[in-house]
Structure 1
Amino acid sequence: MRIERNHLLVYILTFGVFGILNTEMGVIGILPLIADHFHVSISTAGLIVSLFALAVAISGPILPSLFSGMNRKKVMLLVLGIFIAGNLVSAITSDFTVLLIARVVPAFFHPVYCSMAFTVAAASVNKDEASKAVAKVFIGVSAGMVLGVPVSNMIATATSLAYAMLFFAAINTVAFIATLLFVPSMPVTNKPSYGTQLRVLRKSTIWLSIAAVIFMNGAVFGVYSYLAEYLKTVTNYTWNTISLMLFLYGAANIVGNMLAGKLLKNHALRTIKFYPFALGAVYILLFILGQFSVPMAFIILVWGVLGGIGGNITQYWIVSAAPEAPEFANGVFLTSANLGTTIGASVCGLFISGISTQYVVLGGILFLIFSIAAMYPRLSITADCRYLNNAK
């Protein structure tokens, strides 16, 4: 029975993460509608995405640590309640400033729920199964990114902008009810002190891990951010085919999450060592064969799988450097990942504006080189390697 309850807990956490990522990413699909509805420019409407990400990056190392001593069930209910309220306000407001506030306030609590979900999932199973449990939660991240954009667009187009916002609220409400009814009370008995959590920042391994995650996320999302543009201008796909390819990438991403748990459980070091080279090979093929429609579909499939594996690797890489403070480490991971996405998209955008869209992959390869430069020194640290070998 305990095993069944633990599986149910992981599924609820996965759905909760899906709801939060759905709220974060889903608005991308309705930005033009938001701009029209609130009579603002598309760049101004984009603030509801960029400020959300900024709030996550700021709160990542702070709020998860502050909430780490509270009953985890109560914290999860609090965060989901805040997201429900934010989405309800977003659905009824006619003021763009109110919409921004209703988006940014919940964003500060995004790392609280997600870092806690990773920590609770890992703690709900034995040590050997921890990476697989975390990988299941990452499926919620991928599903939120994949389904949020097209579903919100479909709802808003068929009905209204308000109903799209209510859809976000409904998903969070289902997660809230499931947490309330089926998640047991989870008081924290051995909360690490704030000093213990902050002391992990003294370790060289954590800073090497942060750098590696920033560069790795920059490599993945810096190129992915311009995938639709690449498929349009280089591969010359139609918009319907581009939509299909984006779904293909997302579905492959979910498969990658499933594979990642097994890989990190059984071959952690080997997976981490070879991952940058595998992604680099995909980018080289993307550059060489990007103009050919059939090979491009296979490249996107493999790229999507590697993207899902990469998300798990980056989370594992930081948390394994600070196992004594998991909530704090997961918060640092979320901040690093968001910074990497922001920096990667900006730098890769420079390659597009400076040369052409086809050369966006050079930005990804550049970030991969930097990630290797940060990753391999950490692998050479004896104590850290011993920890990772024990995790294999």
Structure 2
Amino acid sequence: MPSRNALPALLSLSLGYFSLGTISLAVVGLNGPIGDDLHVQPASVGILVTVFALTFAVCAPTAPILLRRWNRKRVLLVGIGLLTVGAALGALAPNYGFLTVTRVLAAMGAAVFGPGASAAGALIVPAERRQRALATVFGGMTAAAVLGVPLASFLGGSLGWRPALLGVAALSAIAFVTVFVFVPEIPAGEPPTLRAYRGALGTPATVATVSTTLLFMAAQFTVYGIAGAYLKDRFDASSGLISVTLLAFGVIGVAGNATAPRIAERLGGDRTVGLAVIGLAAGFALLLVAPHSHAGLVFFAFWAFFSQLYQAPQQARLVELVPLQPGLILALNAAALYLGMSLGSFIGSSLLPGVGAGPIPAAALGVLVLAALAHVLSVRQASAAASAEQPATPVHIS
């Protein structure tokens, strides 16, 4: 597809990512209503994020192998179809166990669609526009934090969590239609195999880069994965104020995602990812010293910019590392992303009942230090590999 005609397709993929992000994170804002209706503790509702993330992490690397003979558009439609059905069934769940099963089904669809959408976005534009294309596609995930999660929280408080999930399922169905209409047929490319996975993981800097994603997301979701309960306990925020705070968080996150390509063009992908790690660390440090009042909510929203500054540059770095298998390496990165979400949500949910909200950002900082170390290692390995590939300059002896 010529680049000038790519925008409708990119926006369709972004809408699909918006549905994916809202479905995966809606329980963050619906924690209270779901817990009250199904008679479970807030920490148990938080585990639904973990269930979704773990399922995604397992299925994302295997889906490209199982569906390797299908063209990319068919894969996208199957993924978003499963996502839609899972969300709709979740709204009808009679108990916590059934709701958990529907989260597994939705996560399977997300694991098929998410990496496929990123790979499609990277393939339908020229290489020089890849950063912006990936930012557009993944912008749907960021927008889910702006509108999806706060809107789900608002609808859950006013209409109930079931209508909220049904609304999200309807939105996912709309995304299915737009992907069908606007996304072109994209050849499957080189079929991924287990050997291809081994080759990708053997590429210098790949493991360290994917590990950075896992640890970065784990640090973020140690706090964000329990956002509703955290804000209520730490800042005595009401349900309405929690919705407003999550909305502000999302708006600032959209700004981070939107400016990421320009910052990356100026600083380079390596330094942009490093800036995101440093900014996130500063945000967690501010939360530790924030006043125990509504004013402290400003500190919670601060780090949203850096949480979303990370994604597009890191995805572009991975495509550059493994250019022949973009879908495969982005599937691995997506698996790491959701595994990090799962790990972080588990850490936060486990700590909250015992230590309260106050010390949780300190735990997140500890995980983020590991992410920083992994990033430094990835930069050094990539630099060493690039230097080794450069031909030696011949020495002329006169």
TM-score with structure 2 setting the length:
0.84
Greater Cα offset, 74-83 or 197-206: 197-206
Between the aligned partners of 1:166 and 1:352, the Cα distance in structure 2 is 30
Tell me which residue corresponds to 1:286.
287
Letter in 2 for 1:279: L
Tell me which residue corresponds to 1:72.
72
Between the aligned partners of 1:234 and 1:217, the Cα distance in structure 2 is 21
Tell me which residue corresponds to 1:333.
333
Residue 165 of structure 1: CA displacement? 3.1
Q: Deviations over 1:217-244 (max 9, x none)?
A: 1222223335445544444555543332
Residue 9 of structure 1: CA displacement? 0.7
Instruction: Percent identity, please.
Output: 23
Residue 164 of structure 1: CA displacement? 2.7
Tell me which residue corresponds to 1:143.
143
Tell me which residue corresponds to 1:2.
2
Between the aligned partners of 2:207 and 2:135, the Cα distance in structure 1 is 23
Between the aligned partners of 1:41 and 1:353, the Cα distance in structure 2 is 10
Tell me which residue corresponds to 1:344.
344
Between the aligned partners of 2:355 and 2:41, the Cα distance in structure 1 is 27
Residue 142 of structure 1: CA displacement? 1.7
Tell me which residue corresponds to 1:85.
85
Q: CA RMSD in A?
A: 3.1
Matched, 1:214 2:217: no
Between the aligned partners of 2:237 and 2:184, the Cα distance in structure 1 is 49
Tell me which residue corresponds to 1:303.
303
Relative distance call for 1:100 and 1:193 in structure 2 (3 A) is closer
Tell me which residue corresponds to 1:390.
none
Relative distance call for 1:80 and 1:350 in structure 2 (3 A) is closer
Between the aligned partners of 2:45 and 2:11, the Cα distance in structure 1 is 33
Letter in 2 for 1:359: P
* 1:185-224 equivalence runs, <5 A: 185-224=185-224
Q: In structure 2, the residue corresponding to 1:101 is in which secondary structure?
A: helix
Matched, 1:58 2:37: no
Greater Cα offset, 146-155 or 103-112: 146-155
Residue 168 of structure 1: CA displacement? 2.1
Letter in 2 for 1:371: A
Between the aligned partners of 2:224 and 2:97, the Cα distance in structure 1 is 30
Tell me which residue corresponds to 1:379.
379
Aligned residues: 386
Q: Deviations over 1:40-78 (max 9, x none)?
A: 666665554432222111112111343344211111112
Letter in 2 for 1:13: L
Between the aligned partners of 2:255 and 2:172, the Cα distance in structure 1 is 24
Greater Cα offset, 219-228 or 74-83: 219-228
Residue 19 of structure 1: CA displacement? 1.2
Greater Cα offset, 7-16 or 333-342: 333-342
Unaligned runs of 5+ in 1: 388-392
**Is residue 16–residue 140 contact of structure 2 (8 Å, CA) maintained in 1?**
yes
Between the aligned partners of 1:37 and 1:103, the Cα distance in structure 2 is 17
* 1:248-287 equivalence runs, <5 A: 248-267=248-267, 268-287=269-288
Tell me which residue corresponds to 1:322.
322
Matched, 1:165 2:165: yes
Q: Deviations over 1:124-174 (max 9, x none)?
A: 212121111111122211222343333234445544554333212211111
Tell me which residue corresponds to 1:184.
184
**Is residue 21–residue 145 contact of structure 2 (8 Å, CA) maintained in 1?**
yes
**Is residue 67–residue 112 contact of structure 1 (8 Å, CA) maintained in 2?**
no
**Is residue 219–residue 368 contact of structure 1 (8 Å, CA) maintained in 2?**
yes
Relative distance call for 1:314 and 1:199 in structure 2 (3 A) is same
Between the aligned partners of 1:365 and 1:145, the Cα distance in structure 2 is 22
Relative distance call for 1:103 and 1:348 in structure 2 (3 A) is closer
Relative distance call for 1:377 and 1:289 in structure 2 (3 A) is same
Q: In structure 1, the residue corresponding to 2:358 is in which secondary structure?
A: helix
**Is residue 197–residue 325 contact of structure 1 (8 Å, CA) maintained in 2?**
no
Q: In structure 2, the residue corresponding to 1:62 is in which secondary structure?
A: helix
Letter in 2 for 1:275: A
**Is residue 25–residue 149 contact of structure 1 (8 Å, CA) maintained in 2?**
yes
Between the aligned partners of 1:99 and 1:281, the Cα distance in structure 2 is 36
**Is residue 64–residue 111 contact of structure 1 (8 Å, CA) maintained in 2?**
no
**Is residue 134–residue 261 contact of structure 1 (8 Å, CA) maintained in 2?**
no
**Is residue 156–residue 164 contact of structure 2 (8 Å, CA) maintained in 1?**
yes
Residue 371 of structure 1: CA displacement? 1.5
Relative distance call for 1:124 and 1:284 in structure 2 (3 A) is same
